[in-house]
Amino acid sequence: VGGLGAGKTNFMTLDTVRLVQEENMKIGIVVEKVSQVLEKVAELTAYGIKAAPVIGRKRGKYLREYLEMRRKRGSLLDEWGMVEQQAVAYLSGQCFLRAEAGDHDGMESYPCNHLTQGKTSYLCQYGDKCGFYANVRDMINADVWVTTGAAVLKSRLPKHFDPLERPVYEAMYDLLDVI
């Protein structure tokens, strides 16, 4: 508890760095917006922490919001570094199956968990390499997961990475030390 500008966010960041570096803990951070998720991941990465964003499926919407936020700050594309490029990569990962099929219409659905032949269901064979799941691959080795409250409650880990398809809140409870 503290007033505006009291340093709560800075304390949270520095304590996260301490817990990861000194106590070897896995941490979960929940923020309000996806743009804040990406900023926090960039900030922790600058401290040498392996951080991964945990974001939902509405990537097109989040990409537009992120680009608009950067534009409002006067950030030109030719000034962008690896941090901004990684944020855009997380938000614009391409589904291999849709790319192979020439399906680039910007729909928010992905076929990876809905492949069937007859009555048999299959997982996409590209799930472990797909651009759409880049953030999930990064979560596996990350020291810090950064997410939004909506993603914690509404998102699940994909079957490619978690056979239980746990909701994010359950995975955080099971796999992280501090949230």
Which pLDDT score is estimated for 96? 60
For residue range 24-79, list pLDDT tens digits in order: 999 999 999 888 888 899 899 999 999 999 987 666 677 677 777 777 766 655 56
In the numeric block, the tokens 């709560």 are attached to 8
- Show the CA angle centred on residue 155, arms to residues 151 and 161, nearest 5°: 125
Angle subtended by helix axes 82-91 and 59-72, to nearest 10: 150
pTM (2 decimals)?
A: 0.75
Residue whose pair of structure tokens reads 């997982």 in the numeric block: 123
Strand partners, 115: 122
